[in-house]
Chain A
Amino acid sequence: MKSSRTLGLVLIAPAVVLVILFFLVPVALTAVFSFTTMSTATGITGGAYQVAPNTLRRLSDRTGMDELSEQLAESKYVIDERGLAALDSLDVGAGIAVELRRDHLGEVFATRREAERMIRDLRDRPPTREVKRISEQFNRSVLNARFESRAELFAALGALGVELTAQEQDAVAAATYTGWTWTTENFRRMVSTPDTVRRLFNTVVYVAVTLVLFNTGFAMLLAIATHYMPDASAGTFRSLWLLPRVSPPVIYVLLWKWLAWDTGFLSMFFGQFGVPSRNWLLDSALNAWVFVVLINGFVGASMGMLIFSSAIKAIPKALFHASEVDGASRWQQVRHIILPSLRWPILFVTCYQTLSLLTSFELILLSTDGGPGGATEVWALAAYHTALNNYAGNLEYGYGAAMALILVVIGVALSLFYLRLFNYRALVARPLIEQ
């Protein structure tokens, strides 16, 4: 008993590891990311403190510290004793420090470029890399400097003689921090964005229509139809319907595009009857939806078909024979024998396909990309666009994760609902027959 239990644990271990790695960890990370301001600009692994013009603008906009932000925005290079002393510790030629002290002590330059011009004009003209190191020793401003920690930032400000109260320090640190911070702003933004309702509505339409018409409805039709066919033709028929699933998605969608584009098959065909050519895929919101549902449905139907047909095969033949003796019609067989025995598979397919439809957006991305005008932008696609697609190079990971988290919550809630609806407990109850 004990060894079989251990063996069971060992056998299940790989599955547990996979579930943790590919499900629980991503979900947990999504949840964490969704409460942050993470984007390409903030980076994922942490930030620094940078006194850039935009951070200074933020400082004066948010706290009204105009004077301080003006002071920080000043760029200044001063040839002073402090810098000359620092030069000694660098490995630059001794002549340079001597010449700087003799000819340039006390000079002030407004920009780095001007200071470097002077350094390059020294008699021992240093190489470019050296010039940069030398000029840095005389930098008496923090503009555009990047500090790895808060302490370094305030040490540098202190060295410039900028004294700040604790409150001012917090404001400066907050404004100049480049990394991500914790926030609930993502969810507030989601609620106040006009497109949110529409995307949710799109998602409901997409999932419900595809699920009912194809993933369960059409799949059931195929399973029942092939059940009553001779074995050989049933096999051929089923393999045909498997083609959309086994073909690579990009090529599969490309075939649909060739069908629907304004230079495609449909346009050419209808052109024969005088219909002007048009992009049938994106012609109107309705057209786009028809294609989105068909493209996804043809892929989705095959799985239900396989599960339902094998479940039908598992029904004892005697039941069918007996019903035929009693004179039952095909419809009566379907209604009273097949459907009641398929409760489990239907629960499974509905549950699984709802969740997979909720999160699958790749075929929509490849076909309409959410168009026309966002009409087929479903929630998962919008999350993808937000988190991983931005023309100006600033991907919004945090907001995208918050959108994805909503999907996780909906998915879990729906699973619980389905389990209750199909009375899961009764389905897994101990068999009444003694073993």
Chain B
Amino acid sequence: MRKLATMLLRATAITAALAAATGVAAAKDVTIGVWSGGSGPNDNYRVDAIEMAADIYEREAAIRGEELNIIVEKKPYPTWDDFKQALTLAAEAGTAPDIVVTGHEDIAPWSQSGLITPIEDYIDLDSWPVNGIYENLMEISSYGGVVYGLPQDAEARPFFFWTPHMKAIGYSDADIEALPAKIQAGEYTLANVLEDAKKMQDSGAVQPGYGFYPRPANGPDYWQFYKSFGGEMQDASGKLVLDKAAMQRFYQFFVDAVEAGVTRKNHIGTPNDQWFAEVASGKAGTWHGGTWHYARYVNQEGLTDFFGNVQFSLIPAGEGGEANTLTHPLVYLLTKQDSEDEMTTAAELIKIASEPRINTLHAIKSAHLGISKEQSNISLYSGDRWAREATERLLPHANAMPNNSDFGAYWNSMWSGLESAWTGQKTPEQAVADVETELKSALGDAIIIR
């Protein structure tokens, strides 16, 4: 009897030990944090895609016989300033999330500080879906030949015309139809924009100050105008370039717009919500924005007949330059973590999230452009007129900002110069001279000034 009791006891102990051991081995919990910047209500798939990827990856692991439980902690930030501040400070404190969705220009400074780790250390670049991503987007996600991240979206920044106002000043339907091609050929320039804006105001179609209604805050968009006037951001070797004459022509254009009364002197600082409501309701004659604005105009601002009211094109050329647009892809980056396993999992999730079907959800919901050619085989993408036309008309002419740690300082100077010229605090000439002095002392030989 006693023997039996001992045996039972032993058996129970062994079973319990075994159960505990297998329990530990089987249930593996991994927490993956993902933060995204500048993400509004239409951009939820930036972080949701990682969650979807986690589900697929868990199922794959289960088939391989591993019980993997991935907890995705999502944190989308609506603005950029807060996001970059929070992330850089979190990284210094060692609490950065595993994955960040940010602008490609962050790669240079963040790789220097060791905040991010090249994704090519964890994934096979020749495998699907990575090998299907547009080559130029992969290049933008690289720095010094190393692939740091995978593109999360692509976009372009068009110039918009409110067609009923164009008709009010004498444009026919055929003229409006032909406008994008004329702009691309350099036959319709920024000087014509100011003329037409003035005409729209004079004819009473729009109120004074609404003829040309630019982005009301700092952003990559303004580099397009520098480019339109022949400016270059970097030379072939990757060194930053300040073209003083082009910068001055670019500043002068906004000063001219203010002087002609088609743009308000106090335009910068206009609340974003007000700006969106105004351009989507035909209060402005011409303006510029991004491909993703389409989603906001249509979904939030109630512009149901977009194509019946708006024409879009490249940013027209100015003196000395050509029509262009800028693409500012966001990228999935992998931050440096202590656990190699965690980083491998995070990299795998990024890879899965980049698959055409998942990425298309983001592309179409947020009106961004796809990251791979295959996406045009997905009916959600190919059936969307905006994605189709914007990809064709804009993407081939898109430039990107340089990946360079010093670009931030250059950008700050460019913007404060533009702001001071625009608001009449300085003449364009003075503003450019101050930008030059500032850059010389801040960057020294890291920038070519000509």
Name A residues whose Cβ lies closer than 8 Å to a Cβ of B: 39-45, 47-48, 50, 52-54, 57-58, 61-62, 75, 111-113, 116-117, 120, 128-129, 131-132, 143-144, 146, 178, 188-189, 192-195, 257, 261-263, 276, 278-279, 281-285, 368-369, 371-375, 385, 388-396
Contact = CB atoms under 8 A, between A and B. Distances in A.
A395 B102 CA distance: 15
Given A44-B92, A373-B420, A390-B408, A192 B441 contact: yes
Nearest to B438: A193
B421 to A, nearest CB: 8
A40 B407 CA distance: 13
A41 B412 contact: no
- Across the A-B interface, give the 3 residue pairs with the lowest CB-CB distance, nearest first: A373-B423, A392-B408, A41-B109
Given A128-B122, A193-B438, A390 B271 contact: no
B268 A371 contact: yes
B442 interface: yes
Contact of A372 (B146, B207, B208, B266): B266
A45 B207 CA distance: 54
Given A263-B274, A391-B412, A393-B110, A372 B268 contact: yes
Given A52-B143, A373-B420, A43 B92 contact: yes
A389 B79 CA distance: 12
A144 B144 contact: yes
B269 A372 contact: yes
A113 B125 contact: yes
Nearest to A188: B441
B239 interface: yes
5 contacts: A40-B115, A54-B144, A194-B437, A392-B103, A394-B406
A396 B220 CA distance: 20
Contacts of B238: 53-54, 57
B114 interface: yes
A398 to B, nearest CB: 12
B156 interface: no
Contacts of A394: 109, 405-409
A275 to B, nearest CB: 13
Nearest to A191: B441
Given A371-B423, A372-B423, A395 B113 contact: no
Provide the main secondary structure of the chain A interface. Answer: loop
Contacts, number: 186
A430 to B, nearest CB: 50
A392 B419 contact: no
A194 B434 contact: yes
Contacts of B239: 57
Nearest to A193: B438
Given A43-B92, A263-B274, A374-B416, A285 B425 contact: yes
Given A128-B122, A372-B425, A45 B266 contact: no
A20 B437 CA distance: 39
B223 to A, nearest CB: 11
Interface string B115-148: 1001011111111000000000000000111100
A281 B264 CA distance: 13
B145 A144 contact: yes
B88 interface: yes
Contacts of B84: 390-391, 393, 395
Contacts of A47: 113-114
Interface string B418-450: 011111111000000110011011100110000
A284 B105 contact: no
B84 to A, nearest CB: 5
B425 to A, nearest CB: 4
A54 B266 contact: no
Chain B CB within 10 A, most for which of A52, A111, A132:
A52
Contact of A195 (B80, B113, B270, B434): B434
Given A128-B122, A193-B438, A373 B419 contact: yes
B309 interface: no
B145 A75 contact: yes
B405 A41 contact: yes
A116 B124 contact: yes
A391 B80 contact: yes
A51 to B, nearest CB: 9
A26 to B, nearest CB: 15
B339 interface: no
Interface in B234-263: 237-239
Nearest to A371: B269
A395 to B, nearest CB: 6
Nearest to B271: A261
Nearest to B412: A390
B266 A128 contact: no
A390 B83 CA distance: 11
Given A116-B124, A393-B88, A395-B88, A52 B423 contact: no
B411 interface: yes
Given A50-B112, A132-B122, A178-B114, 9 more contacts: A194-B434, A262-B270, A263-B274, A283-B265, A284-B266, A374-B416, A391-B80, A392-B109, A392-B408
B437 A393 contact: no
B407 to A, nearest CB: 5
A42 B113 contact: yes
Contact of B123 (A44, A128, A194): A128
A281 to B, nearest CB: 8
Nearest to B220: A391
A330 to B, nearest CB: 44
B105 A392 contact: yes
Given A128-B122, A261-B271, A371-B268, A392 B110 contact: no
Contacts of A396: 409
A291 to B, nearest CB: 12
Given A143-B145, A391-B408, A373 B424 contact: yes
Contacts of B391: none
Nearest to B208: A276
A282 B145 contact: no
B445 A195 contact: no
Nearest to A56: B144
Contacts of A282: 266, 268-269
A158 to B, nearest CB: 23
Contacts of A393: 84, 88, 102-103, 105-106, 109-110, 408
Contacts of A146: 114
A389 B81 contact: yes
B143 A195 contact: no
A371 B267 CA distance: 11
Given A192-B437, A193-B441, A372 B419 contact: yes
Contacts of B265: 283-284, 372
Contacts of B220: 391
